[in-house]
Structure 1
């Protein structure tokens, strides 16, 4: 989130999809997107992927979905923040192919009655998979709309029974030194660590994600599982999770450690609280026409205020940025 090429917002035409998304699979993705835009919604999308080996069917959840037009698959999978694979937006798509996602386990530990380690196949079956269309807003000023596949994180946390001492949930992501070229650079103190308050983590909007657009997550998007916390800036939605720890004291996340004056614990989307180097009052939606497309006004809590504002009642959202 810290590194940006001055004065350069990429044109839509500059975003080149990785070769893996070409040929038959890319054709199906585009066909599904067109069908959805025509009013067939996620049903057509799932039908288009029905024969794909990495299909991940899910039941649409309209209660937790926005009505915005989803960002095209080629943009979602070629314009990414995943610093373990490089700081430029196109580097994750180029280098994440080496990420090893099987076998994969996630430990859930700390202030819990029943600490457990789950393999990815168990997690996929832990709760019914849902498709939810969420907004994603990044601190640099760009946004997307993504049809995630997964379920509420609360389903997992209830399995381990948080104790009365559990106040926060810390998330640690994978480190694969041989497969992640970005780890050679001291952008952050690896592994990447993020955290939420327990009530934020238990909120039904906070999602454990296994896929997007009806397919398993691409590596550059955080395979094999990640968070999606739609009312917070994108860096809070940690990718490629390997450990979840419930703790009593507020953890220090990676970006807080690297730049505490720029990144606070809460990171709620707020148009009235600028980043020291970027205004947060407006945003540019990726795929909507490039640099000269008029910017959108940023919505408080990314447009999810009705669902989450009560979590912060009485708090100073400028001090708790």
Structure 2
């Protein structure tokens, strides 16, 4: 079983303490506040899409705690921000970086409904003020067999769910992405097979696992639009399968919710969709992955670890399940 230790991070990559700001100052500078504050202090989204936004204040997780860190080399920011899946902006890996600046990310609210005692709409600024941000360095394997190591900034999804108080009937958590065709050119594409808006789902115990993160930043700064700004889901043992971006709705349900890829192609994408080298995708093997940066002449090909190496933290969630059947 892979052990997770504190990574060695070059001093050049550590954000100086002098540029940290109080959370509310950060939100104003990053354009996350609504009303007059956002109007007067919002930053240029088209610039942030390349830079990763403004510096973000956070508290690093304890080294090795619950698998929140890995000692593997981090993927360069240029790769993580330029090689993306975000079909709302196109199917090419560079399309999100090219076109996601057209999406407005402020003001931003998240609607929480369904089997909860405290449903309603939450302003993102209120969410960030309530839940302290942590840095987590996750090893992530995408569905097409490429992988990265990314330092995410966010808060546990469990904290948000506990805040809204799930009822005894809550068994699943459904997520929905922003849908604005005028700003998301991929949703206007002729012949699109996805029924927008994009939807994803987790079982409640998966959602409540300490590893499951609602991310608002990466590499010490706010999320670039193409990486799911201003808030997205990160599930490290399901990365690429359960990585819904720009979340606007969360609904707790008693029944298993429909998900976009399962509806589009149930033969290839099941509801659980764990990273599992023992279960091949119908169109490619999951036994190996291509760690970015990688090229034709220097293919960084490595064996895939079951659950992305997070089995110690999550294998018990699937005890007794046939993971070839429930893929």
TM-score (norm 2): 0.83
Give the secondary-structure state (helix, strand or coil) at the position aligned to 2:201: strand
Partner of 1:11: none
Deviation at 1:45, TM superposition (A): 3.2
Once the two structures are superposed, residues 239-267 of structure 1 have per-residue CA deviations (whole angstroms, 9 ceiling, x without a partner) of: 00000000000011000000000000001
| Separation in structure 2 between the aligned mates of residue 234 and residue 38 of structure 1, nearest angstrom | 25
Give the secondary-structure state (helix, strand or coil) at the position aligned to 1:231: helix
Relative to structure 1, is the Cα distance of residues 232 and 291 closer, same or farther in structure 2, using a 3 angstrom cutoff? farther
Give the secondary-structure state (helix, strand or coil) at the position aligned to 2:321: coil
Q: Structure 1 residue runs of 4+, over 2 Å off?
A: 36-42, 45-53, 288-294
| Separation in structure 2 between the aligned mates of residue 188 and residue 292 of structure 1, nearest angstrom | 34
Deviation at 1:288, TM superposition (A): 4.5
| Separation in structure 2 between the aligned mates of residue 111 and residue 131 of structure 1, nearest angstrom | 30
1:45 and 2:15 correspond? yes
Partner of 2:80: 76
| Separation in structure 2 between the aligned mates of residue 301 and residue 149 of structure 1, nearest angstrom | 21
Partner of 1:170: 174
Aligned pair count reads: 285
Partner of 2:217: 211
Please show how residues 145-156 of structure 1 align to structure 2 within 5 Å.
145-156=149-160
**Contact (CA 8 Å) 1:126, 1:156: kept in 2 or not?**
no
Partner of 1:113: 117
| Separation in structure 2 between the aligned mates of residue 41 and residue 264 of structure 1, nearest angstrom | 42
Partner of 1:261: 267
**Contact (CA 8 Å) 1:110, 1:246: kept in 2 or not?**
yes
Give the secondary-structure state (helix, strand or coil) at the position aligned to 2:82: coil
Deviation at 1:293, TM superposition (A): 2.4
Deviation at 1:187, TM superposition (A): 3.3
Partner of 1:138: 142
| Separation in structure 2 between the aligned mates of residue 230 and residue 98 of structure 1, nearest angstrom | 28
Give the secondary-structure state (helix, strand or coil) at the position aligned to 1:109: strand
Partner of 1:281: 287
Give the secondary-structure state (helix, strand or coil) at the position aligned to 1:77: helix
Q: Once structures 1 and 2 are overlaid, which stretch shifts more, 250-259 or 286-295?
A: 286-295
**Contact (CA 8 Å) 1:136, 1:144: kept in 2 or not?**
yes
Deviation at 1:136, TM superposition (A): 1.6
Relative to structure 1, is the Cα distance of residues 143 and 118 closer, same or farther in structure 2, using a 3 angstrom cutoff? same
Q: Once structures 1 and 2 are overlaid, which stretch shifts more, 228-237 or 190-199?
A: 228-237
Which residues of structure 1 form unaligned runs of 5+?
Answer: 1-35
Q: Once structures 1 and 2 are overlaid, which stretch shifts more, 59-68 or 201-210?
A: 59-68
Deviation at 1:283, TM superposition (A): 0.2
Partner of 1:319: 325
1:127 and 2:97 correspond? no
**Contact (CA 8 Å) 1:131, 1:147: kept in 2 or not?**
yes
**Contact (CA 8 Å) 2:178, 2:197: kept in 1 or not?**
yes
Please show how residues 17-36 of structure 1 align to structure 2 within 5 Å.
none
Relative to structure 1, is the Cα distance of residues 46 and 203 closer, same or farther in structure 2, using a 3 angstrom cutoff? farther
Deviation at 1:49, TM superposition (A): 5.9
**Contact (CA 8 Å) 2:175, 2:251: kept in 1 or not?**
yes
Deviation at 1:65, TM superposition (A): 1.2
Relative to structure 1, is the Cα distance of residues 38 and 119 closer, same or farther in structure 2, using a 3 angstrom cutoff? closer
| Separation in structure 1 between the aligned mates of residue 18 and residue 81 of structure 2, nearest angstrom | 18
| Separation in structure 2 between the aligned mates of residue 160 and residue 41 of structure 1, nearest angstrom | 40
Partner of 2:305: 299
Give the secondary-structure state (helix, strand or coil) at the position aligned to 2:241: helix
Partner of 2:42: none
Give the secondary-structure state (helix, strand or coil) at the position aligned to 1:235: coil
Give the secondary-structure state (helix, strand or coil) at the position aligned to 2:130: coil
